[in-house]
Amino acid sequence: MARLFGTDGVRGLANGDLTPELALAVAASAARVLAAHDRSHRPVAVVGRDPRASGEMLEAAVVAGLASAGADVLRVGVQPTPAVAHLVGALEADLGVMISASHNPMPDNGIKLFAAGGHKLPDGIEDEIEAGLPGNGTRPTGAEIGRVTDVPDAIDRYSAHLLAAVPHPLTGLRVVVDCANGAASVAAPDVYRKAGAEVIAIHAEPDGININDDCGSTHMEKLQSAVREHRADLGIAHDGDADRCLAVDASGSLVDGDQIMAILALDMAESGELTHNTLVATVMSNLGLHLAMREQGVEIRTTAVGDRYVLEELRAGGYALGGEQSGHVVFPDTATTGDGLLTALRVMSRVAATGKPLAELAGVMRRLPQVLVNVPVADKAAVAASEAVRDAVRAVEAELGEEGRVLLRPSGTEQLVRVMVEAPEHDTAQAAADRLAGVVSSAS
């Protein structure tokens, strides 16, 4: 049987794969596991959600599950995922539950769990929660049943936390923010204005159905047009739960997560915040980031794909900045998870402090053309063991030299091998990727 928890909680089609019954069971089991680990007090859980319609149903199930297992619930309503993580620590709770499927389409939903302090749950605790899903045993009754309380000032607490982390006011900046009709539709425009920016908000009217619908960080075209139309200094794009941030410069050109990390790494190195002068990134980060950081004297530590692996490396090495090309950026001294609003504030602060346009700051790195080919295979293990595949990879690497890169990565959930090639020219990368894809296909 497949593990219930993926790299970012439990996710699936709402009311299909992810039913209210499953949500209730997961929440109740989480409360029981926490209580078993610490019997000194009744567990307290913070529960938030993004605005997709199924979140209302699943929130009710999660709250019921927690209370039925004896946990008190602090319900914070529609909030960005990083807000829930922050509030777990700020409200001294034992558990956080965020109901969101992030950038996925509206019909999907998910359950993300945070431990005390707002950190992601260790794999071992997730396994205990999954093992306890049958839920057989004695339930609390009477006064031992958990109580449910709303937290009306939750968004104000989160905003104050963000504003305290802004190094320089955003006075003079005009920014367009695409809120993806998601969880940041209120918080993002509000906090950017409070930080001093003139804000034009788009896709900031969630109706439960329109989250991520042709908008936000996975659909940048409308933001690019709006930045040019409003003659803004830059644009910011969030996803449905606002744990990621991408940007657009004044000309409408995309500034991706790698470029954002390059800007912030140099900013933090200059201010002395970049611990060990090191940035943490995944294997999917563009080679251009590695080349730019090497030129600037910044070391890069590389992890597997997934923000949980970035977080693990950040904690293990005591580093101060890490993230992914997709726009998940983590500042562990300020936040326990990727925070799109904090990332945007730091980027805009750098623009305001230097007086340099975003395009110039992002120009510190040249993004090399990157081609990704998904190759269906019969046996991923056979591909990994194939001498022909290894020989083909070595041949391409020799041709590209230090100006290119090859990465073969088996999918974690499908019989696919992802072939990624970077090179100075797109045609070169495409030809090499197609050649390798043919070898991979033959080897399986």
Instruction: Decide: helix, strand or coil at residue 408.
Output: strand
d(CA 194, CA 384): 52
- Read off the amino acid at residue 160: A
Closest alpha carbon to 127 in 34, 44, 4: 4
Token pair listed for 443: 């080897």
Closest alpha carbon to 42 in 119, 101, 109, 94: 94
Residue with tokens 């005390």: 116
d(CA 376, CA 360): 40
d(CA 31, CA 145): 12
Count the residues in the chain: 444
Query: Cβ of 300: how many Cβ atoms within 10 Å?
Result: 17
d(CA 171, CA 233): 12
Phi, psi at 383, each rounded to 5°: -65, -45
* Catalytic member of 54, 68, 102, 285: 102
Residue with tokens 């367009």: 176
- Would you say 189 and 362 are in contact if contact means Cβ atoms under 8 Å apart? no
Query: Cβ of 330: how many Cβ atoms within 10 Å?
Result: 26
- Read off the amino acid at residue 303: T
Closest alpha carbon to 305 in 436, 418, 224, 170: 418
Sheet holding 148-150, edge to edge: 10-13, 108-115, 95-99, 44-49, 72-78, 148-150
Residue with tokens 């500034």: 255
d(CA 157, CA 146): 24
Closest alpha carbon to 195 in 170, 177, 178: 170
102 assigned to active site: yes
CA angle 58, 60, 65 (to 5 degrees): 95
d(CA 207, CA 97): 22
User: Which helix (H) or strand (E) covers residue 388, if one does?
Assistant: helix 387-400
Active-site residue set: 102
